[in-house]
Structure 1
Amino acid sequence: MFRALFDTLFKRTPTEEGFARTFIKAARAGGYAEPLDYQADDFRLRYGAGSYFNLHNAYRDYLNADKARKTQVLNSYLRGLIDSRNSAAAQPLEQVRPLLRPVIRNLAMLEEIRLHQVRNHGWDSPCPMAWQPFCEDCVTLLAIDYPDTTSTQTAGPQQDWGISLEQALAIALDNLRDASPDAFEAILPGLYQGAWKDGYDTSRVLLPDVLQRLALKGQPVFMMPSRDVLMVTGDKDADNLRQMVELSFHALEHGRAQSSQIYTYHDRRIVPFQVQDAHLQARLGDLQRLLRHGIYSTQKEFLDKIHEAHPEDIFVATHRLYSDAESGNSSFSIAAWTEGVFTSLPQTDRVILVQPQADGSAQTQVVAWHEVETLLGGLLSKDGELYPPRFRTLGFPSAEQLSQLTPMG
C-alpha cells in the first residue's frame, strides 16, 4: 500500500527524527487523520487522550530488515498504531475472550515502562503492572491478539472483566492451544525452529506437549533468544545444543531480546537446563553479556533523561563490552568507577578504578567484580530496584583497600 512512498523516503538510513516524520507522513497517506504529536526526547508519538505509541521497535526493526522487507515492517507498525487507537477504549470480556493470548517478555520491557513513568512523574509515582514470573529474566503477560498487532496488557485484565490475571492467562493458554497445530521446521536434523510466525512462537513453550511431540534425542530443551525465535533440541544432543547457542547470537542481534538461557521441563514446569559442558557454559555467558549490554545501554539512556528531569548529581556509568583476546571468542563487560564522582555502576565482570591526577592523567587499576563485592562492598549500595541491577558508589577505595585488590591485565 505504501511501497512507492517508502521507496522514495527510505533511500538513506533515516535519523530518529527523520524516521518519525516519515512514519507520520505514511500514516497520513494510509488515512490516519487524527493528531499525532512527535515527542523527540522519548522517541514516541502522542495520540488520542494521552496515549503513546513508542517508535523504538519500529525504528530498530526497520533498520534491521533487508530491503525487500522494509515496507512490510512499516506497514505492520502502522497497522499497530491503528489497532492501538482502537484498543484504547474498554472492551467487554465477551468480545476479547477469544483474542486473549499469553506472551513472554524480558523484564527490561516492564522496566522501560516504569522508567518512562518515573521521568514524567517522579520515582514515587505508581506504575501498576500485572505479570507472572517465568524465569530470572522473563515474565508472562496477558495480550490481546488483533489481526495486525499484539496489544500487551501490562496492567493485566481490565477491571470490568471481573477476572484475575491467573484466570485471564488460563483462558489465553487455552486459546493458544487451539491455535497450535504442529508447525516446527528442521534447521538441522534434530534441531527445530517454531514456524507458526504469528507472534506467539515463544509463547508455546507454555504448552509442554507441543514441544514433546518432536523427535528428539532425549527430553526437549529450548531457547528463545528473541521474541520471534523459538529453537528446540534434545538434552542428549550435544552437537545441536552447541548449534542452538551459536544461532542464538544471530537471533539476539537481529531481533528484540528475550532470554539468553536454555530451558527444559521438570514435571511440566519450565526450569533452567543445567549445562555441564565448559565450552557451552562460556558461550552462554557471552550470550548473556550481549543481551545485558543492550539492556544496560537502553537503561542508561532512560536514567540520564530522568536525572535531567529530576536533577541529581550522579553519573550513570556505561556498560562496555569487549572481546577477550586471550580467550578466543570470549567477552567481558567493564565499567568505570572514578574517584570523586558519585556513580551508578552496572554489574559487570570487571571494574576499572580511576584516580585522576593533577597533571590531567589518571592512575587506573582493573579488578574483578567479585573482588569489588568482597573487599569494597561497604562502598556500594544497591541503586533502587533497577533491572538489570546497578550499585551506587559511596566514596572511593582507600590506598590500603586498593593494595588488597588483585590487578587484572
Structure 2
Amino acid sequence: MKLIDTLLGRPTLPRLMADTGVWLRQRGITAFDIEPVLMQLSLQLPDGSQHRIQLGRLWPHWQQAPRRARARLLHDYLHELLTAGEQVPTDYASARPHLRPVLRTRDQLAAAQLSVPGQAPDAPPLVAHRPWVGDLMAALVIDRPQSMMYVQPSLLKAWGVPWEQAWDDAIDNLRSASTAGRWQELVPGVWRGHWDDAYDSSRALLPEVMHRGPARQPLVLLPFREALLLTSADDPQGPQAMLAWALAQLDGPLRWLSPELLRLQARSWAPEEAVDPAAPLQAMLRLRFRVAAYDCQQQALAPTLPGLHVGACRVAQAEDGTLVNYTTWGQGQDTLLPEADNVLLMWQEAGEARLLSLPWASLQAHFADLLEPTTHQPPRYRVRGFPDAARLAEVAQATATAGTVTRAPTLRLDGSAG
C-alpha cells in the first residue's frame, strides 16, 4: 500500500489544498480562498454565509491515512463543519468562551501575510499578535470542536474589544482547560506535555502549569505546535535529549514552531543558549528551520514577481564537514537575495565560469552598496548590479575560502514550516 501511495499520490500539503478545492467546486462553492501557511480555508456559500475553516487539524490525520481513505476523511471533515454552521462570531460575548492563545514565529506570520493574494509584506497584519519572547509572537484564535480560526485586527475592532481584554480572556480559557494534563517521560529527565487538544505549546504561556510540572527549574523546547518538551535547567543531559527528539520528528506530520530553548525565571521566560554537547543539535535545528522558512517565502513570492529571481536558501556540506546554508548570486540576474550564512557569487570571466564563496558578513562588508534591504521577513536584499572584475579579484585575494561548498545538499527539506 505504501508503494501505491508513493506512485499514485503522496499525501503532500499542495495535494490536500487541491483536493479541498475539488470538493468545494463539486458542491457549487466557487468563492473560496486557501491560505496555505495558516492552513485556513475562507469561503462563501451560495446563501451568502461566510465561513473560515482551519485545515491544520485535518492535516496530520489526512497525511497518515491510506490513499483510499483520504477522500472520505476530507468529506466528513468539511461536511461536518459547513453543516454545523460554524461562522465567525459577530459579537464578543459569543466569541469569548472560544478564544485561545497560540505562539507563532515572526517568519510564520510573515509567510501568512504573503499567502493572501495581493498582500504586500508591509501591509497591515493579517493576524492580531504581540511580541512574546525572542522570535516568538503571541496570537489569538477562535477554537471550535473541529476548527481553529485566527483572530484578525479587524475582528477585534468589530467586536469593540482591545487586544489586552481578548488576550486575558484567552489565557483564562486556556488555564481552565489545563487542569487535566499529564506529562509523558520521553527519556529520563525529559517530559512531553499532553492535554489532548491542539494547544500543547501554548501552555508555555501559563508559568504556573510549568511550575507544577516534574522539572525543578523549567526549561522548555517548543519545536512543534503540538509539542511542549520540558526538562530541568540543572539537568546537563536534558537539552541534548529534547533537541535530539525534535530533530528525529522533523519529517513527520507535526507542524514546526521554534528551535529555541526557553528558561522559566519566576513567571517570565528568557532564551537559553545550548552548550556542548547540545549546541550542535540546536545549530542543526536552527538550520533546518531557517531554510524551511526561506523555502516557504520563496514559494509565495516567486509567482508574484515575474522577471525577478527569488533566491533560494539551501543546505550543503562545507570542506570541514559541517552543514551550512547558502544561496547563489549570479551575474546578470535581477535577484532578491536571502540572508544566508554563505553566498556563492558566480560569473563569467575570459569565457570561463568563476565562483567565489563568501560568508554573509564578508559579503556585506565588501558589497553593501549593491545590497538594498527590503521589508521581507525573513530578510532579503534586492541586488543592484554585480561587482566588477577588479572588485571581485580584490575580495578573492583578501578573503579566506573557509566554508566553500564542495558537495550537494545532504538533507531533506520537506518538513512542515506553517
**TM category, shorter:** 0.7 to 0.9
Aligned to 2:415: none
Aligned to 2:289: 291
Amino acid at match of 2:260: Q
Amino acid at match of 2:164: E
SS of corresponding position for 2:237: helix
2:280 to 279, 282, 289: 282
Note if contact 2:337-2:381 (Cα within 8 Å) is conserved in structure 1.
yes
What are the residue-to-residue correspondences of 1:233-252 with 2, within 5 Å? 233-252=231-250
Counterpart Cα distance in 2 of 1:190 and 1:82: 44
**Does residue 215 of the first structure (1) align with residue 214 of the second (2)?**
yes
Aligned to 2:355: 364
SS of corresponding position for 1:132: strand
Aligned to 1:340: 332
**Does residue 260 of the first structure (1) align with residue 259 of the second (2)?**
yes
Counterpart Cα distance in 2 of 1:36 and 1:392: 37
Amino acid at match of 1:235: A
Counterpart Cα distance in 2 of 1:178 and 1:300: 40
Counterpart Cα distance in 2 of 1:179 and 1:69: 36
Amino acid at match of 1:389: P
Amino acid at match of 1:364: L
Aligned to 1:319: 313
Aligned to 2:412: none
Note if contact 1:320-1:334 (Cα within 8 Å) is conserved in structure 2.
yes
- Larger displacement relative to structure 2 (393-402 or 39-48): 39-48
How many residue pairs get matched? 387
Counterpart Cα distance in 2 of 1:170 and 1:259: 24
What are the residue-to-residue correspondences of 1:7-406 with 2, within 5 Å? 12-13=9-10, 19-20=16-17, 22-23=19-20, 33=27, 35-36=29-30, 47-48=43-44, 61=60, 64-65=63-64, 67=66, 71=70, 74=74, 78=78, 82=82, 86-88=86-88, 90-117=89-116, 119-120=117-118, 126-127=124-125, 129-155=127-153, 157-181=155-179, 182-216=181-215, 218-254=216-252, 255-275=254-274, 277-308=275-306, 313-324=307-318, 326-327=320-321, 330-357=322-349, 359=351, 361-383=352-374, 385-397=375-387, 398=391, 399-406=393-400
CA pair 357-44 structure 1, distance change in 2 beyond 3 A: farther
Q: TM-score, normalised by structure 2?
A: 0.80
CA pair 47-354 structure 1, distance change in 2 beyond 3 A: same
Structure 1 residue 177, shift from structure 2 partner: 0.7
Counterpart Cα distance in 2 of 1:50 and 1:231: 41
Aligned to 1:3: none
CA pair 114-50 structure 1, distance change in 2 beyond 3 A: farther
Amino acid at match of 1:343: T
Structure 1 residue 33, shift from structure 2 partner: 4.7
SS of corresponding position for 2:86: helix
More relative contact order, 1 or 2 (CA 8 Å, 6+ apart): 2
CA pair 156-34 structure 1, distance change in 2 beyond 3 A: same
Counterpart Cα distance in 2 of 1:84 and 1:396: 58
Alpha-carbon deviations, 1:29-76, whole Å to 9, x = none? xxx955145779989866206978799858964674264997597478
Amino acid at match of 2:341: D
> Which structure 1 segments of 5+ residues have no match?
1-6
CA pair 120-80 structure 1, distance change in 2 beyond 3 A: farther
Counterpart Cα distance in 1 of 2:251 and 2:74: 20
Structure 1 residue 129, shift from structure 2 partner: 4.1
Note if contact 1:157-1:164 (Cα within 8 Å) is conserved in structure 2.
no
Amino acid at match of 1:381: E
Counterpart Cα distance in 2 of 1:223 and 1:77: 31
Note if contact 1:263-1:270 (Cα within 8 Å) is conserved in structure 2.
yes
- Larger displacement relative to structure 2 (178-187 or 48-57): 48-57
Q: TM-score, normalised by structure 1?
A: 0.81
Counterpart Cα distance in 2 of 1:64 and 1:369: 38
CA pair 350-121 structure 1, distance change in 2 beyond 3 A: closer
Decide which structure has greater helix share: 1
| Percent sequence identity over aligned pairs | 25
Alpha-carbon deviations, 1:73-113, whole Å to 9, x = none? 7478536863997324x432222211111111122332123
